[in-house]
Amino acid sequence: MAEVAEKESTDLITVPSKETALDVFKGEKGLDPYLQTIRQELDAFLANPPGLDTASGRKAYASMAHKIARSKTAIDNIGKELVADLKQLPKTIDAERKRWRDQLDAWRDEARGPLNEWEAAEETRIAKHKTGIEVMQRFAEELDDEDASTLSATIAHVEAIEIGIEWEEFEAEAHRVKAASLATLKTALERRQKYEAEQAELERLRQEAAAREQKEREERIAREAEERARREAEQAAQAEREAAARREQQAKDDAERREREHQEDIAKAKRDAELAEQRAKEEYDRKERERIAEQQRQEQAKLDAERRQREEAERRQADVEHRRRINQAAMQAMIDGGMPEQCAMDAIKLIAQGKVPGITINY
């Protein structure tokens, strides 16, 4: 086995120290020398095994198994410690890398600080000018729903915007956007003024047409009211005539209805009497049928009971005969086996009565 620094002995092998164990585990099949040593010890033990019939012999087997188990645990523990150290190593490296990055990031930001401040101020200045230009542009957008007074106020507001050297490099663009917005607004104002004038004329014409329609409607309502009053008077007179005719017809219908109801009452009384007589006859016939059926049922029940009693008596007789034959055969077997007849007879009786434990006769 390769030379290694000693740490611990397990009676079978010398465990490598933590400083040299990594080389053992890293090598291909690096633990083979230790396995070979243990195998040699085990082979030597099994070549001349102690006897199992003594306590010392059995103890020797247990001792050898314990030594192997201790060797397994010792080497495995060294491996576990190495793995734990190796797992901690990436954490230590990552922590130092992070400290390195954070420090240099801070120095980078410190070096760029003045430039960042200048760039932020420049972005604010440019954004202010661009916002002013965008505001002027938005004044000339979405104008379709604006009325003439609103458009006029917007034009006045845009014209009041002063553009000079304070706009710096955006002065020319600001003049161009202001002029374009005013042109768009003024075009929209002219279009809107024309539209509103047309709408005013249309509204005047609509009001005149509405006045004519109202007058015609009122005249039509008056004519319709006069015609309705005339029709209602005619309808009232016709309704009175029809009501008188209905009253006369109703009186006639009432007299005919009373006579018809009288005849129906006579016919109903006759039918009720006939129906009562029919029901009485049917009730008598029903009770007579039930009486006959009950009598037949009782007679049938009596016949069934007699039949069951007869069958039960026959079954019991057959069972007695069956048991007698089996008992006779058993008794004869005992006699044939050399038992006196009386003894055989007594034995069969005792077994049949269940007085002989553990022995029964299968019927």
pLDDT tens track for 259-278: 888 888 888 888 888 888 88
d(CA 325, CA 304): 31
Q: pLDDT tens for residues 60-99?
A: 888 888 888 888 888 888 888 888 888 887 887 788 788 8
Sign of the Cα torsion 212, 218, 224, 226 reads negative
pTM of the model: 0.33
pLDDT value for 10:
65
Cα separation values, 347 from 81, 328, 335, 358, Å: 86, 12, 11, 13
Query: In the chain, which stretches have pLDDT less than 50?
Result: 1-8
How many secondary structure helices (H) and strands (E) does the chain include?
A: 6, 2
What is the length of the chain? 363
d(CA 246, CA 283): 52
pLDDT value for 325:
92
String of DSSP letters for 183-223: HHHHHHHHHHHHHHHHHHHHHHHHHHHHHHHHHHHHHHHHH
pLDDT value for 147:
80
String of DSSP letters for 228-286: HHHHHHHHHHHHHHHHHHHHHHHHHHHHHHHHHHHHHHHHHHHHHHHHHHHHHHHHHHH
Phi (first) and psi of residue 145, to 5 degrees: -95, 0
